[in-house]
Amino acid sequence: MYLNDIWLIFLENLQADEGIILVEKKLITNVPFLYISSTHSIQTKIDETIYASSILATTSTKVTWKSSFIRQEHRLFVYQHRFFVPQQKMFCCGNLCEDCIRLKR
């Protein structure tokens, strides 16, 4: 699964929430920001929706995410939201990891 597919699933799940009117993803200096217009006036409701959508988008992958609240203007919430793909190991550390480079063929 590609990162673009994960973003698509995430944004579709986020938009499907009944309390969210509009979601826009903007890249500013190559950092993704979410502009969320919502009927909710409480930030915790938006946080829960972002968390649930992130879990749905990243199930059965090793991708992780980080979301940071930036600001709020009336009912427009701005978040910095990033998905992180783990880097591939380049050497064996000797700890018998499940993704050990020695076990790949």
13-56 pLDDT tens trace: 999 999 999 999 999 999 999 999 999 888 999 999 999 999 99
Q: Tell me if 4 sits within 8 A of 83, measured CB to CB.
A: no
Span 87-102, average pLDDT: 77
Tell me, which fold does domain 3-84 have in CATH? Aspartate Aminotransferase, domain 1 (3.90.1150)
Q: Label residue 100 by pLDDT band (50, 70, 90).
A: confident
Domain ranges of the chain: 3-84
d(CA 67, CA 74): 20
Counting every residue written for the chain, the total comes to 105
Task: Indicate if the alpha-carbon torsion angle 23, 25, 28, 33 is positive or negative.
Answer: positive
Q: Label residue 105 by pLDDT band (50, 70, 90).
A: low
**76-84 vs 31-38, strand pairing mode:** antiparallel
Taking the CA atoms of residue 70, residue 26, residue 39 and residue 19 in that order, the dihedral angle to the nearest 10 degrees is -110
